[in-house]
């Protein structure tokens, strides 16, 4: 039993600050000890209850039981972000879970590196973590929530108040950009609550972890879940001759004097244990870079908590069914409606394809409503609709199953252009709050970032068009707007002009402005100009805060030659910022005009044909010109790269075949193919239907 150590700990509780959870190294990785130190200093009565709990804990029955059945724990990840790199993709979550389950089921490949002296106590924890498929309200889910909040920086329990699912049904994991260091030196990668929190502080129960969890071998979450299952650090109570009063209070893990950061196989920081064993630096509950095992004694502690009221409810058959993580894969939940459109802009009477992205069980049915479309409704999963009249149109989808229904309305998701655009005399200074009614198309909000009208700054008047890019740090996300169409049938030397202002946030900011032109209502786009990260900033200094140009010297002229489109009746221009850690951007005083002396810097123009569209597993690329040393990327709608093929040659006489079975997703949806070569950039949208 633990009476000796607990008497010591109880005595220490009288003397604040409490030192139950102490560490010696400055570069701290785990904040669990500091978190509990801070809490119990302010709640000494609960500390005494915690000590009593440890004193009464008896894992003896589990020494003989050695549970061999697999325990399944439903997990939900809450991604707290500001649109930056902390907004990790679903693929990263899945990869993390794979590694986590390997660790907890003893199938991690590096387990072969366990030293012979410790192989007899190597344990398979028989635990599997699965993403929840049903949320607390019974709705379908993928087990990942995304919450936009500045609390992602210097996070602590404040992120738990943003969103939390029932801790008796789910393991809550909050992913953040950085974590409060609890007044300690160094960086905190994560912290967890001990099992007793499940009862005494249910709204705080769970794990907070940094988004860069791949640091230190990518096992930060394995370590923190160990705490969540009741395990201490192997160095928790330092050296001692009694295994129940030293180290982690577990007898088959040798006591360790202090936290270890290397991987020294010869290190033996404690000599009082009998037999005198070296430090178990391969244990997940130390800080070493060679962590790869749990011990059988640690498994007994985890088994104790999974069989007690603290964690038992999570692994019950009823909860496994209720959260949709059962082995059969068959479950019922209230569906969640979601969809996208193949192309947002179209000419009149062209087919507009809508792509269902809803979550639901196999008996899901669909009812679409298309205001102004032909037909006006549809029960197809991926309908194609005709629009005869120019304008902006909204679409509604209702999905139903035997377990319930859900609906989603997207306003102004489709733009249908007139046969002829505006005259060359078109001007826009953004003073009119209804300017977008004139066939402007502005990309819908991504990560709370979008182009919008603002009075923060302007070149002339009071308003400009503004991209709040300061908080968008995710590489390769595109934020664009499309101008109304212009008619160039009777124009000599047409051009487009606007004023713009931009600043760098840091020296590493690499925002890029790309300008595209279309003559077929956006069915295809040609890249006409690129302004890279060197030439884009108009401010001569770095702006680590939100940039807003306060004088005209911070604005710059932009001119685009449109003479290649002379004679075309419907010409669109797309202005796109590829955000890569930069700052805000402003556009003002946009106009089309005719000139004979303009900037002639024009990128190569090439059309790219892709087929079949939509597709399932294979895609073919054709171009009328030979393209050498090109890079091909396929991204999802969030800008995450799901496929790439580099240094390819596109022969004008032979199509290039892409095997899309390599794409790490089995979900139907809208994707983008990007072809980049010297002075050439082509981007086209397509859909995958499974």
Alpha helices (H) in 105-229, listed in sequence order: 197-200, 220-228
What tokens were used for 655?
């199509």
What tokens appear for 459 in the block? 């070149």
Joined together, the tokens standing for residue 294 give 């749990």
Calculate helix-pair angle for 90-104, 220-228, nearest 10 degrees. Answer: 60
Rounded Cα gap, residues 630 and 633, in angstroms: 10
Residue from 224, 353, 428, 450 carrying the catalytic annotation = 224
Cβ-Cβ contacts under 8 Å for 11 (sequence gap 6 or more): none
Taking the C-alpha atoms of residue 121 and residue 293, their distance in angstroms, rounded to an integer, is 9
Q: In Å, how far are 37, 422, 621, 657 from 611, measured between CA atoms?
A: 61, 33, 7, 10
Closest C-alpha to 313, from 190, 164, 202: 202
Start-to-end CA distance of the chain, whole Å, equals 58
Residue identified by tokens 């009746």 is 569
Query: Under DSSP, is residue 77 helix (H, G, I), strand (E, B) or coil?
Result: strand
Q: What are phi and psi of 523, to 5 degrees?
A: -65, -35
Closest to 130 measured CA to CA, from 187, 79, 190, 74: 74
- 224 carries an active-site annotation: yes
Say how many C-beta atoms besides its own lie within 10 A of residue 437's C-beta. 12
398/364 Cα distance (integer angstroms): 10
CA 262, 264, 269, 274 torsion-angle sign: positive
CB 203, CB 276: distance < 8 Å? no
Strand 351-356 and strand 373-374: the pairing is unpaired
Using CB atoms within 10 Å of the CB of residue 360, give its burial: 0 to 12 exposed, 13 to 18 middle, 19+ buried.
buried
Distance (Å, whole) CA 131 – CA 359:
14
Helix (H) or strand (E) holding 321: helix 317-322
Which of 343, 685, 345, 682 is closest to 527 using CA atoms? 682
Whole-number Å distance between alpha carbons of 380 and 235: 61
Instruction: Name the CA radius of gyration of the chain, rounded.
Output: 30
Interatomic CA distance for residues 37 and 488, integer angstroms: 71
What distance in Å separates the CA atoms of residue 277 and residue 119, rounded to the nearest whole number? 13
Distance (Å, rounded) from C-alpha 465 to C-alpha 502? Answer: 12
Give the catalytic positions in this structure: 224
């Amino acid at each position: 039993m633990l009476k000796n150590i607990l008497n010591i700990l109880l005595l220490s509780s009288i003397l604040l600050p409490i030192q139950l959870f102490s560490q010696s190294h400055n570069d701290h990785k785990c904040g669990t000890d500091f978190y509990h130190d801070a809490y119990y200093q302010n709640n000494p009565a609960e500390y005494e209850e915690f000590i009593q709990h440890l004193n009464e804990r008896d894992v003896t029955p589990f020494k003989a039981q050695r549970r061999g059945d697999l325990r399944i724990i439903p997990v939900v990840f809450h991604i707290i972000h500001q649109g930056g790199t902390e907004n990790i993709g679903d693929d990263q979550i899945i990869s993390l879970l794979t590694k986590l389950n390997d660790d907890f089921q003893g199938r991690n490949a590096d387990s072969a590196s366990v030293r012979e002296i410790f192989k007899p106590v190597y344990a398979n924890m028989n635990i599997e973590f699965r993403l929840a498929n049903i949320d607390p309200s019974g709705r379908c889910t993928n087990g990942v929530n995304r919450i936009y909040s500045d609390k992602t920086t210097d996070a602590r329990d404040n992120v738990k108040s943003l969103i939390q699912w029932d801790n008796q049904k789910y393991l809550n994991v909050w992913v953040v950009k950085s974590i409060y260091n609890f007044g300690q030196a160094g960086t905190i990668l994560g912290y967890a609550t001990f099992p007793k929190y499940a009862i005494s502080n249910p709204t705080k129960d769970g794990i907070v972890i940094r988004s860069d969890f791949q640091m230190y071998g990518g096992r930060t979450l394995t370590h923190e879940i160990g705490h969540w299952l009741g395990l201490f650090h192997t160095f928790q109570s330092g050296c001692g001759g009694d295994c129940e009063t030293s180290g982690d209070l577990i007898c088959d893990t040798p006591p360790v004097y202090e936290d270890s950061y290397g991987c020294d196989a010869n290190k033996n920081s404690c000599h009082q244990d009998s037999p005198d064993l070296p430090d178990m630096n391969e244990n997940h509950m130390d800080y070493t870079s060679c962590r790869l095992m749990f011990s059988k004694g640690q498994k007994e502690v985890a088994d104790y908590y999974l069989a007690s009221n603290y964690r038992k409810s999570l692994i019950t058959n009823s909860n496994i069914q209720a959260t949709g993580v059962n082995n059969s894969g068959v479950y019922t939940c209230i569906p969640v409606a979601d969809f996208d459109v193949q192309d947002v802009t179209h000419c009149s009477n062209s087919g507009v394809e809508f792509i269902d992205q809803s979550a639901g069980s196999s008996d899901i049915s669909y009812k679409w409503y298309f205001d102004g479309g032909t037909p006006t409704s549809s029960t197809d999963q991926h309908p194609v609709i005709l629009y005869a009249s120019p304008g902006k149109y909204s679409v509604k989808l209702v999905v139903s199953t035997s377990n319930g229904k859900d609906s989603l309305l997207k306003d102004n998701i489709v733009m249908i252009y007139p046969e002829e655009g505006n005259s060359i005399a078109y001007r826009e200074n953004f003073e009119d709050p209804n300017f977008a009614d004139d066939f402007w198309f502005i990309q819908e909000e991504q990560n709370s970032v979008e182009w919008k009208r603002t009075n923060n700054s302007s070149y002339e008047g009071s308003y400009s068009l503004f991209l709040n890019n300061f908080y968008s740090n995710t590489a390769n996300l595109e934020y664009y707007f499309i101008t109304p169409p212009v008619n160039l049938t009777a124009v000599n030397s047409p051009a487009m002009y606007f004023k713009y202002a931009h600043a760098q946030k840091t020296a590493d900011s690499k925002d890029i402005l790309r300008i595209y032109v279309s003559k077929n209502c956006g069915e295809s786009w040609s890249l006409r100009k690129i302004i890279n990260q060197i030439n884009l900033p108009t401010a001569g200094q770095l702006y680590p805060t939100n940039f807003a140009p306060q004088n005209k010297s911070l604005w710059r002229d932009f001119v685009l030659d449109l003479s290649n489109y002379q004679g075309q009746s419907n010409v669109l221009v797309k202005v796109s910022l590829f955000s890569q850690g930069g700052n805000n951007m402003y556009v003002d005083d946009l106009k089309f005009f005719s000139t004979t002396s303009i900037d002639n810097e024009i990128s190569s123009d090439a059309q790219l044909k892709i087929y079949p569209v939509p597709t399932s597993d294979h895609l073919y690329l054709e171009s009328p010109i030979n393209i050498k040393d090109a890079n091909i990327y396929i991204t999802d709608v969030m800008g995450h790269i799901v496929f790439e093929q580099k240094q390819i040659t596109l022969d004008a006489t032979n199509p290039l075949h892409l095997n899309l079975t390599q794409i790490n997703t089995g979900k139907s949806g809208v994707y983008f193919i990007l072809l980049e070569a010297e002075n050439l950039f082509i981007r086209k949208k397509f859909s995958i239907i499974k």
